[in-house]
Amino acid sequence: MQTQRKRKLQDRRPRSTSLPSKSPTQSSKPIHDGDPYQTHHRPTPEECRAVRDDLLALHGFPREFSRYREQRQRKLGLVVEDEGEGREQSEAETALAGEEEAEEEESVLDGLVKTVLSQNTTDVNSQRAFASLKSAFPSWEDVLAAESTCIEDAIRCGGLAPTKAACIKNILTCLLEKRGKLCLEYLRDLSVGDIKAELSLFKGIGPKTVACVLMFHLQQDDFPVDTHVFEIAKTIGWIPTTADRNKAYLHLNQRIPSELKFDLNCLLFTHGKMCHRCGKRKDSQQCGKRKDSQHREESPGKACPLLNYCKNS
């Protein structure tokens, strides 16, 4: 009798059909999912815009990246404004601008090989290496059929010729085996995640190269982290001092607004080359304080605009 009464009481208890509520630790997905430094709240969107504007006022938009900027603007249906007017060009920039204007629209494969050739060398040398490669081998089929030593000879002016020749040869070989032709235009129809997965399959193609192809040659919103960007980001406190390049890439891509990524990346890269006080500094508090002959001003009479951000780091 007592057992039957217990069962009746249990049957009378209301049964909840709703899911259990989430505890504070089970809250919704964090805004910066995938960010290795979620507790590091810099840079803010406002800070990104301010740095972009400060560097744009100092340098103008770098002419070496103008053609890629115009491609992005055309894709968005926007009118391109030349914000580099009034700034004197260096001989290297003038030469590069002339070469780029004379070139036809480059393919994605061209862009990938250009990026490979740009590793660990100057812009001028990598451009010369690419031009030499295209002159020696009119088509990518010719490059694939050539001996590695011949490819090395063609790109030697860009440095690391054996390594880069092997990488290029491997890309072409894998591409032919997988796709049946030497073409990467199919990437234009893929998502950013799928593009990263595809390009990462090629031996010797790392995150920075993939990010550069995404940003420059596929007009996607991505933020490559090269040495200049990495050192400046660390100096002004945008990433922890213990950060490595790969984690910095993940963090900055989460924090920087998509619409600012292209301009900000090009400007930080340019500033890093021109302002020796902001790059490769272990002590961020010393930013802008050295004025010896080895640390030249990026513009006569103008202090480095990133000094204010160093104080906040």
Instruction: Sketch the domain layout of the chain as residue ranges.
Output: 42-76+221-313
How many other C-beta atoms are found inside a 10 Å radius of the C-beta of residue 228?
20
* Structure confidence at residue 96 (pLDDT): 46
Single-letter code of the amino acid located at 240: P
Query: Which fold does the domain 42-76+221-313 belong to in CATH?
Result: Endonuclease Iii, domain 2 (1.10.1670)
Which tens digits make up the pLDDT trace of 256-284?
999 999 999 999 999 999 887 775 544 44
Is residue 247 classed exposed, middle or buried when 0-12, 13-18 and 19+ CB atoms within 10 A define those classes?
A: middle
pTM of this structure: 0.77
Catalytic residue among 114, 164, 208, 261: 208
d(C-alpha 72, C-alpha 219), whole Å? 6
Average pLDDT in the 137-166 region? Answer: 97
Average pLDDT in the 281-300 region? Answer: 42
Residue spans of beta strands (DSSP E) within 197-308: none
* Structure confidence at residue 281 (pLDDT): 47
223 pLDDT above the threshold of 80 = yes
* Structure confidence at residue 34 (pLDDT): 85
How many other C-beta atoms are found inside a 10 Å radius of the C-beta of residue 45?
12
pLDDT class of 86 with cuts at 50, 70, 90: very low
Select the more confidently predicted residue: 91 or 166.
166
311 pLDDT above the threshold of 90 = no
pLDDT class of 81 with cuts at 50, 70, 90: low
Q: What SS3 string covers 138-203?
A: CCHHHHHHCCHHHHHHHHHHHCCHHHHHHHHHHHHHHHHHHHCCCCCHHHHHCCHHHHHHHHCCCC
Q: Which of 20-29, 91-100, 121-130 has the highest mean pLDDT?
A: 121-130
pLDDT class of 107 with cuts at 50, 70, 90: very high
Which tens digits make up the pLDDT trace of 28-71?
333 345 899 999 999 999 999 999 999 999 999 999 999 999 99
Contact criterion met (CB below 8 Å) for 85 and 60: yes
pLDDT class of 95 with cuts at 50, 70, 90: very low
Q: Which pair of structure tokens corresponds to residue 299?
A: 């513009």
Task: Find, among 163, 106, 89, 100, the residue nearest to 140 by Cα.
Answer: 106
d(C-alpha 2, C-alpha 152), whole Å? 92
* Structure confidence at residue 312 (pLDDT): 60
Q: How far is CA 126 from CA 112, 215, 253, 278, in A?
A: 12, 18, 26, 24
Residue 193 — φ and ψ, nearest 5°?
Answer: -60, -40
* Structure confidence at residue 106 (pLDDT): 87
Is 208 considered catalytic here?
A: yes
103 pLDDT above the threshold of 60 = no
